[in-house]
Structure 1
Amino acid sequence: MSTLPLKAGTKLVLASHNKGKLAEFSTLLADFGITVLSAGDLDLPEPEETETTFAGNAALKALAAAKATGLPALADDSGLCVSALGGAPGIYSARWAGPDKDFPAAMTRIQEGIGQDERDAWFTCVLCLAFPDGTSYSFAGRVDGQITWPPRGDKGHGYDPIFTPEGEKRTFAEMDEAEKNAISHRARAFALFQKECLA
């Protein structure tokens, strides 16, 4: 049944094997009485991300998890887009870090690919809520900012140490979790999801 809003007591599958994302979403959904199970905990395979947009990949992951478990599933596809790189790494943000998740190497690749004057960048997140019957809903969030070099901060994950959002002097990795969650691309997508999907 694809019924909205999701009620307290609902079990929701987060279609991700990323422990950082699991922690973030568990925190965000705890206030609504929703229990988050991760695809990793349920031994679900990670589907190949064959779509060419954030929205397409989020839907692909959410629908696969919902159909595999019979539970509603939430997926996000997100990434860092750098203006001077034509929007790259974009949907390939995780892949730039390689199978070993070597984000320092991926951040160096970005720095080496852009000029000193071309620092504009943005993080995009698309959340997709899918149900076992194939119904799905998508919500997009974006936060603009600048590439910072060298990397700063030891919080957050992924590209956070090189991204400074507009209006801030600190990178995402220099903010505590609550501060980042209040302004991030994922928070903006989540606010739209919350308005439409949570009681």
Structure 2
Amino acid sequence: MSNTIVIATNNQNKAREFKEMFDAKNITFKTLADFPEINKIDENGNSFEENATIKAKAVYEQTKLPVLADDSGLEVDALNGEPGIHSARYAGDHDDKANNIKLLKNLEGKDDRSARFVTCLVLLNHQKDKLVVYGTIEGEILDSPRGANGFGYDPLFFVKSKGKTLAEMSEHEKNEISHRGNAIKNLYDRFDEWWKD
């Protein structure tokens, strides 16, 4: 099991992104689906890094394997960084439609629509310090949703360089520029040095 990393998620799409990027590194990735005994983790931190670290530590304690955990969210400048760490539960637990409605209501009358998606990845192993990397994508919030792909705030998040929202992009196109994709690239660049120390 020395080349095994547990990704602290049940999201198989998320896991697939990591597997594809690290394909050449001879790493076996497992997810929480492989460890049904692990209970729901209370992510009660005050930042993306704190939440990812809480998740990583909890999974490490129960598996004794290196763990990769993430926390992500949308930061809107005119709302002082909201919804931030509360992105998935902004208006109710993982209710995308309600979250989008609340976001648009809170942005009514505001000229600045600039925003970014942020992902923080934490890689934890008992023998060494944790490795923390971030990835972001800049954009702006539209007045109404566009596109049927993606999830969460994707239909409202417009990427100027592409001329479309994340929900109007193919999965491949989105992964090439997304916050999680950028975070994975940053992790990949620093992985070998951290893994071998």
TM-score, reference length from structure 2:
0.86
Residues 120 and 132 in structure 2, CA contact (< 8 A), matched pair in contact too = yes
Q: Per-residue deviation at 1:105?
A: 1.0
Q: Per-residue deviation at 1:134?
A: 6.6
Q: CA 1:148–1:26 in 2, change beyond 3 Å: closer, same or farther?
A: farther
Structure 2 match to 1:165: 159
Distance 2:121 2:137 in 1: 15
SS of the aligned residue for 2:10 comes to coil
Aligned-partner residue type, residue 185 of structure 1:
H
Distance 2:192 2:167 in 1: 29
- Offset from partner CA, 1:138-184 (integer Å, 9 cap, x none): 00111111012321222222221111124121111111122111111
Task: Identify unmatched segments of 5+ residues in structure 2.
Answer: none
- Offset from partner CA, 1:21-41 (integer Å, 9 cap, x none): 234333333343433221244
Residues 63 and 131 in structure 1, CA contact (< 8 A), matched pair in contact too = no
Structure 2 match to 1:141: 135
Structure 1 match to 2:87: 93
Query: Higher helix fraction: Structure 1 or Structure 2?
Result: 2
Distance 2:115 2:89 in 1: 18
Structure 1 match to 2:60: 66
Residues 78 and 110 in structure 2, CA contact (< 8 A), matched pair in contact too = no
SS of the aligned residue for 1:186 comes to helix
Q: In the alignment, is residue 102 of structure 1 matched against residue 103 of structure 2?
A: no
Distance 2:134 2:102 in 1: 27
- Offset from partner CA, 1:58-92 (integer Å, 9 cap, x none): 11111211221111111111100111211100001
Please provide the CA RMSD for this pair.
2.1
Aligned length: 190
Distance 1:155 1:95 in 2: 20
Aligned-partner residue type, residue 24 of structure 1:
E
Residues 164 and 172 in structure 1, CA contact (< 8 A), matched pair in contact too = yes
Q: Share of identical aligned residues, percent?
A: 38
TM-score, reference length from structure 1:
0.85
The structure 2 residue matched to 1:82, chosen from 76, 82, 102, is 76
